[in-house]
Amino acid sequence: MKRVELDTKGLKSFVQSNELKEIAPMVQTARDLLVHGTGVEAKMGDWVNLPDEYDPVEFDRIKDAARDIQENSDVLVVIGIGGSYLGAKMALDFLHGSFFNLEGTDKHPQIFFAGNTISPAYTADLLRVIGDRDFSVNVISKSGTTTEPAMAFRIFKEKLIEKYGQEEANKRIYVTTDAKKGALHDEAIDQGYTSFVIPDGIGGRYSVLTPVGLLPIAASGANIDDLMDGAHEAQVALKDAPLYENDSLLYAAYRNILYRKGYTNEILESYEPHLRFLAEWWKQLAGETEGKNYKGIYPSSAIFSTDLHSLGQYIQEGMRNLMETVVEIKQPASNLGIPANEENLDGLKYLENTTMDEVNKTAREAVVIAHTNGGVPNMLVTAEDNSEATLGYLIYFFEFAIAVSGYLNGINPFNQPGVEDYKQNMFALLGKPGYEERRKEIQEQDNEKFH
Q: Are strands 265-270 and 173-177 parallel, antiparallel or unpaired?
A: unpaired
CA angle 68, 226, 235 (to 5 degrees): 130
Residue 236 Cα distances to 72, 246, 351, 381, 397, angstroms = 39, 11, 42, 19, 11
Question: From CA 448, how far away is CA 446, in angstroms rounded?
Answer: 5
d(CA 338, CA 321): 38
- Looking at residue 383, its amino acid is A
Instruction: For 344-383, give the DSSP string.
Output: -TTS-GGGTTSBHHHHHHHHHHHHHHHHHHTT--EEEEEE
List CB contacts of 235: < 8 A, sequence separation 6 or more.
Answer: 48, 49, 51, 52, 396
Q: DSSP labels for 111-161?
A: EEEESS---HHHHHHHHHHHTTS-EEEEEE-SSS--HHHHHHHHHHHHHHH
Q: What are phi and psi of 174, to 5 degrees?
A: -115, 125
- Measured distance CA(84)–CA(141) in Å, rounded: 7
Nearest Cα to Cα of residue 58 among 190, 204, 212:
212
- Report d(CA 98, CA 89) in Å as an integer: 11
Residues that are catalytic: 288, 423
175 membership: H or E segment, kind and range = strand 173-177
